């Protein structure tokens, strides 16, 4: 596995290197490191996953399904490389039981909860307050906000450009590409521009490439864990329910969609590569569509019933109707008026 890591990690993002290193050191080397690669079986791998699921956490408790799934991804990739090198003839990790991970439900804060938190933070930490305002109003990821530089901020145009990410690498925070490998620009509302302008004056924002969120005049950005821990402390101090810093991104998306903002606009603001990604994650927040579909279906059915029912019994059928046909109506056709009446009564 170390040979695979050394060869493959040269092209990985810093976060991927750090996370993979952690999986190797915490879970794979201690449990499988002594087994020759040619002797590793699917049964032994399944036993490992079961063991991790029972007592694989640092405190001896169950390891989350998501973490077990990451262990599987790392092991499967390493064994796939072993197969390409012809050290083994097949990949036993491909024949293990499928690991199912329940989809995480989103629990973004409500507008009232967000306002409570922002008001509290504004009284205690102006810099972190500005960070949270940008997180909630732009929907940017933590890494993008921390990598934001003053030359990517245009208060005149009311825009910020996110061009990089500030992430934890194997040896500390480093600059990296954004998650989508693409830069994107987000428009700011006048209120957010005013807050950012006041913050720039307060910290005497440096001209050029200085980081917006920094304690040394823009030379170094805040550490990623700093903002995550600060967010948790403030939330707990206020007695608010459990939600994460990343949930501010979900807050922006759900609030915009519920307000009727087109999903294409929201997707672009989130910097998703495809609108389908946004739709898959936030379809529940697109309001009005299901109610309109239900009403449309009812109108279609009722219109069909009315047309099929034909003229009412006391209407003049007009010329061309045979008296015998009037005396002996088709039993199936004659049932439609009663069907229409029954459906209307049911509603």
Reported as a single tens digit per residue, the pLDDT across 215-263 is 998 999 999 999 999 999 999 999 999 999 999 999 999 999 988 899 9
Decide which of 260, 284, 308 is a domain's last residue: 284
Count of all residues that appear for the chain in the document: 347
| The last residue of a domain, from among 47, 69, 95 | 95
Nearest alpha carbon to residue 150 among 63, 218, 60, 98? 218
In this structure, the answer to whether residues 208 and 145 fall within a common structural domain is: yes
Compute the distance between CA of residue 202 and CA of residue 196 in angstroms, rounded to an integer. Answer: 10
Q: Which residues are within 8 A (CB) of 206 and not within 5 positions of it... i.e. 6 or more apart?
A: 150, 217, 218
Residue with tokens 């967010």: 231
Task: Say if 102 falls within a structural domain.
Answer: no
Nearest partner of 48 among 67, 62, 34, 68, judged by Cα: 68
Q: Which of 299, 243, 254, 252 is nearest to 281 (CA)?
A: 254
Determine the structural domain holding residue 312 and report its residue range.
295-346
pLDDT digits (tens, 9 = 90+) for 148-207: 999 999 999 999 999 999 999 888 899 898 888 888 999 999 999 999 999 999 988 776
List, in sequence order, every beta strand (DSSP E) within the chain.
Answer: 153-154, 159-162, 165-169, 172-176, 184-187
* Residues ≥6 apart with Cβ < 8 Å to 316: none
Same domain, 206 and 277: yes
Q: Within a domain: residue 290?
A: no
């Amino acid at each position: 596995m170390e040979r695979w890591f050394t060869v493959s990690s040269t092209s990985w993002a810093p976060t991927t290197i750090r996370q993979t290193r952690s999986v190797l050191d915490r879970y794979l080397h201690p449990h499988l490191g002594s087994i020759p690669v040619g002797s590793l079986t699917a049964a032994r791998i399944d036993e490992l996953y079961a063991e991790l699921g029972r007592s694989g956490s640092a405190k001896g408790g169950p390891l989350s399904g998501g973490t077990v799934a990451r262990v599987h991804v790392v092991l499967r990739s390493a064994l796939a490389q072993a197969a390409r090198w012809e050290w083994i003839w097949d990949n036993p990790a491909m024949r293990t039981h499928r690991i199912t991970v329940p989809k995480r439900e989103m629990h973004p804060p409500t507008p009232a909860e967000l306002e409570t938190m922002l008001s509290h933070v504004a009284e205690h930490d102006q810099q972190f307050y500005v960070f949270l305002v940008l997180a909630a109003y732009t929907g940017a990821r933590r890494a993008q906000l921390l990598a934001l530089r003053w030359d990517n901020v245009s208060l005149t145009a009311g825009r910020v450009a996110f061009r990089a990410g500030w992430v934890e690498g194997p040896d500390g925070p480093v600059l990296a590409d954004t998650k989508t490998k693409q830069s994107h620009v987000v428009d700011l509302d006048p209120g957010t521009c005013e807050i950012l302008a006041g913050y720039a004056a307060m910290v005497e924002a440096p001209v050029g490439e200085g980081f917006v969120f920094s304690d040394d005049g823009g030379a170094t950005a805040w550490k990623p864990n700093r903002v995550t821990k600060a967010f948790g402390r403030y939330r707990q101090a206020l007695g608010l329910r459990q939600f994460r810093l990343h949930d501010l991104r979900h807050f922006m998306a759900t609030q915009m969609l519920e307000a009727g903002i087109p999903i294409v606009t929201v997707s672009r603001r989130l910097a998703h590569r495809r609108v389908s990604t946004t739709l898959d994650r936030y379809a529940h927040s697109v309001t009005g569509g299901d109610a309109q579909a239900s009403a449309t279906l009812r109108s279609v059915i009722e219109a069909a019933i009315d047309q099929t029912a034909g003229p009412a019994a006391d209407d003049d059928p007009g010329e061309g109707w045979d008296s015998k046909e009037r005396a002996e109506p088709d039993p199936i056709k004659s049932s439609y008026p009663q069907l229409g009446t029954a459906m209307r009564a049911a509603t």
